[in-house]
Amino acid sequence: MFRRLGSVVVRGWPYILGFWALLLLGLWFVAPSWEKVGQSGQFAYLPSDAPSRQAESLYREAFPGQKPGSSIVIVVARDDRELSADDLRFIEGILAVRLKETLQPIGPDGVVVRIRTPGEGLTGVLLRSQDSRAALVYVELTTEFLDAQNWSKVDAVEGVLSELERDQTKPAGLEIALAGSAVLGRDNGRAEAESAKAIEGWTVLVVVVLLLIVYRAPLLAALPLLTVAVAVEVSLRLLGLLAEYAHLNLFQGVKTYVTVVGYGAGVDYCLFLVARCREEWASGKSGPLGVGAALGRVGAAITASAATVTFGIAMMGVAEFGKFRQAGLGIAFAVAVVLMASLSFTPALLCLTGRWALWPRHNPPPVDPDAEVGGVWGWLARQIARWPGRIWLGTVLVMTPFAVYAVAKFDLVSYDLTRSVPADSASTKGLRSLRQHFPAGTTGTVTVLLRNEGVDFRTKEGQALIAELSQRLGARAEELKLADHRSIADPLGTTPAARAKVPQTPFAQDAVRAKAAEYYVGSGVAGGNVTRLDLVPKEDPFTEAGLSHLDDLEAVVREELPDGLKGSTEVRLMGSAPSMRDLKRVTQRDQIRVDIAVVLGVFFVLVVLLRRIAISFYLIVSVVFSYFTTMGVTLLVFAAFEDGSFPGLDWRVPFFLFTILVAVGEDYNIFLMTRIDEEKKRHGSIAGVTVALTKTGGVITSCGLIMAGTFGSLFAGSLTELRQMGFALAFGVLLDTFVVRPVLVPAFLVFIRQKPWKGRLAG
């Protein structure tokens, strides 16, 4: 098949170049830009049966005039004394007015619902700190905190604050900071977008430099880069068409993974073709004929390698979390396009350039296929041939402690988004200011929805049940780490300032509750059968401690329901923290599901390609072992640089690391195994292993270095998760390049072929 493809390329290479040029040109004008079709957000990718998604559905049904969303919180504070009357007049008369003018339109049909201030009637007390040194201006939004629609609103608020600072309208000594979930989401999204651009630039630069170092031939280095650049661009634009016309809801971050993996894998495939082409030219074949022969010999190995990567990464499609599914399908699609380009566009370019691709060394030196190879790979092959068992065991013993540590710390992952954004971001500074005067959970209120078809919460009887529940929760506030809780029974909360705001007479309290019923009791299809409680945690709900505490909080709410509500009340939690908790549960299930699917999928491909079950099983075990070793080293490295207690790696790192490392690790193993099969026909079963190692050592190592370099470009990103991912992937690829593929795999093959069971295992 690939010999025929080689003949087609040799005869029709001008048409192949024209096809790719026209395809790229056509997509450039037809396909939408990635910025147009790439989606933002996080919780919208949770499955529809996630508890927080069901809570949001109930909320929309019961409170049609209100929309759950994120917030922009402006912290106005003084560190040395209480806020003065002038400070409060500035907030109400200047800051709030400017915000309302700038953020138009304001209403439930837009992004901004309303702007709440500390001087706003009875509810203003909720926006003043207990020490009277700070106040909040709350901009309520309808969108979730990672939605890109928030960015312009946050920027507009920052613009207002800058104008007030510049015009010296702000009272002297008054400090103003930005906090809130929408600001955190904006900072995270902007850092991700800026990181993506930096990563793309560094990826290209790293590939160019490494190719020049490897080949010392500018034109030969340019051919793989041109191939991959065209293939990745075609992939992204085809995915853009699918997103626009097939309603494929791709998220923005897919582009980064497609670029990094596409460049790494694509350059590898081109390098193997170029290396084999140089061998054919060295044997005396002319330019185009050498290209056709090289493609005929190595095409199957390249395709098999790409099939492993594509099939393995595509297994992410079984995930529940939509972002994982999209990343898997998007990366797999890109690798398939890169493969097609490597098997057609690259050889066509080589036919065009001929031996000029090797300039300034036009003629590679002749190669004797039977000559003993020297250098480090020849030396390593001879050592493995002498002591395969000792070398294998020694290598395993060195790697095992790190793998064991990774298994022991497997649950040490962090879902704390506040740790990911840069330390100098507005949200980080604002959060520090907020925590000095308010409970950390102020901007992450947990909303509890209670639904009971037999109770009308608009009546005194229904409200009495909620009052009883509120008293029970108040009695356990310290245990539950609650700073405050609000409901139809305590509309302004339970703090001393809130209680002092409302005259303690039955008439006054009834009047406040009647007004508060519009907010706390449902009015939609569910009618008065739904009510809400707002719980303000003492801890930041985005931290690991805050997330883990939610389970206890929900359990206590169910436990403390009065007799009139027990057994027949539906309890649901809503807000950023419950959504993050669902994200954690779903992605932890996905980790197990996808890991199993990747292992089984790659194992199936290996068995089909190699037709040896035992060796295929060993190859899988070796890369999984490499993954755990990499995880152990990554955990130790990042824990060593952590100032305080290390919360763990970002939750995305173990997931993507396992999928990519297993797929790419087998990628290199397949190149080695196909060369072993070729060499053993000439040199025998054992010598075939060592000869294949010496002949592929240089090119596979070059591929590994370039792949590690492309993954290392993730360090150019400012987000913690990207840096952790970059280190882990780069280290994992280097470990596979310099240990697993050249040591663990050949030593195992030589060892079993020296023993009586070699006929059953080695083939």
User: Are residues 363 and 392 located together in one domain of the fold?
Assistant: no
Whether the per-residue pLDDT at 577 is higher than 80: the answer is yes
Altogether, the residues listed in the chain come to a count of 763
Same domain, 137 and 277: no
Q: Which of 367, 388, 412 is a domain's end point? A: 367
Please tell me the distance from the alpha carbon of residue 548 to that of residue 556, in angstroms, as a whole number.
14
Identify whether 196 is part of a domain.
no
Question: Tell me, what CATH number does 141's domain have?
Answer: 3.30.70.1320
In this predicted model, what pLDDT tens digit does every residue of 101-117 receive, in sequence order?
A: 898 888 877 888 888 88
CB 269 within 8 A of CB 334: no
Look at residue 122 and tell me if it is in a domain. yes
The per-residue pLDDT for range 296-335, each reduced to its tens digit, is 888 888 888 888 888 888 888 899 988 888 888 888 999 9
- Residue 360: asked if its preceding bond is cis (omega within 30°), the reply is yes
265 with 161, same domain: the answer is no
pLDDT tens string 327-384: 888 889 999 999 999 999 999 988 888 777 777 765 555 545 554 555 788 888 888 8
Percent of the chain exceeding pLDDT 70 equals: 92
Q: Is residue 714 part of a domain?
A: yes
pLDDT band at 759 (very low <50, low <70, confident <90, very high): very low
What CA–CA distance (Å, rounded) separates 626 from 623?
A: 5
Q: Which two tokens stand for residue 498?
A: 């809130």
The answer to whether residue 593 sits within a structural domain is no
Higher pLDDT, 211 or 501: 211
SS3 288: helix
What pLDDT does 450 receive?
93
CA 346 – CA 77 distance, rounded (Å): 62
Tell me the pLDDT band of 755, cut-offs 50, 70 and 90: low
Task: Please give the backbone phi and psi of residue 629, each rounded to the nearest 5 degrees, phi first.
Answer: -60, -45
142 with 275, same domain: the answer is: no
User: Which residue, 465, 42, 539, is CA-closest to 252?
Assistant: 42
User: Same domain, yes or no, for 348 and 240?
Assistant: yes
Task: Write the DSSP symbol of residue 76.
Answer: E
Taking the alpha carbons at both ends of the chain, their separation in whole angstroms is 24
Average pLDDT over residues 563-585: 88
**Helix, strand, coil distribution of the chain in percent, nearest 5:** 70, 10, 25
Q: Residue 117 and residue 110: Cα distance in Å, rounded?
A: 20
Same domain assignment for residues 233 and 295: yes
Q: What separation in angstroms does the CA of 740 have from each of 45, 307, 643, 708, 712?
A: 36, 20, 33, 15, 20
| Amino acid code (one letter) for 74 | I
Quick one: pLDDT at residue 33? 75
What distance in Å separates the CA atoms of residue 731 and residue 72, rounded to the nearest whole number? Answer: 39
Domain that holds residue 391: 368-428+598-763
Using alpha carbons only, what angle is made at residue 324 by residues 318 and 327, rounded to the nearest 5 degrees? 110
Q: Range with the lowest mean pLDDT among 8-12, 480-484, 523-527?
A: 523-527
Same domain, 760 and 698: yes
pLDDT band at residue 247 under the 50/70/90 scheme = low
Residues 741 and 678 in one domain: yes
Q: Which amino acid is at 475?
A: A
Q: Hey, how many other C-beta atoms are within 10 angstroms of the C-beta on 468? A: 17
CA-CA distance, 227 to 210, in Å (whole number)? 16
Count Cα atoms within 13 angstroms, Cβ side, for 640: 6
Which of 342, 367, 392 represents a domain boundary (last residue)? 367
Return the SS3 of 177.
strand
- Tell me: do 114 and 231 sit in the same domain: no
- Same-domain check for residues 136 and 174: yes
In Å, how far are 67, 120, 304, 492, 618 from 107, measured between CA atoms? Answer: 10, 17, 57, 23, 62
Residues 106 and 144 in one domain: yes
What's the average model confidence in pLDDT over 245-256? 74
Q: What is the chain's Cα-based Rg?
A: 31
Residue 196 has a pLDDT of: 74
* 23: in domain: yes
Residue 365, phi then psi, degrees to nearest 5: -65, 150
pLDDT at position 525 is 63
Tell me, what CATH number does 353's domain have?
1.20.1640.10
Q: Do 613 and 761 reside in the same domain of the chain?
A: yes
Higher per-residue pLDDT: 484 or 358: 484
Count how many domains the chain has: 4
**Which phi and psi angles does 414 have, rounded to 5°?**
-115, 135
Residue 158 lies in a domain: yes
10 Å CB burial of residue 109 (0-12, 13-18, 19+) is exposed
Residue 193 lies inside a defined structural domain of this protein: no
In a domain, 359, yes or no: yes
pLDDT of residue 746 exceeding 80, the answer is yes
Mean pLDDT of the chain: 83
Contact 335, 309 (CB under 8 A): yes
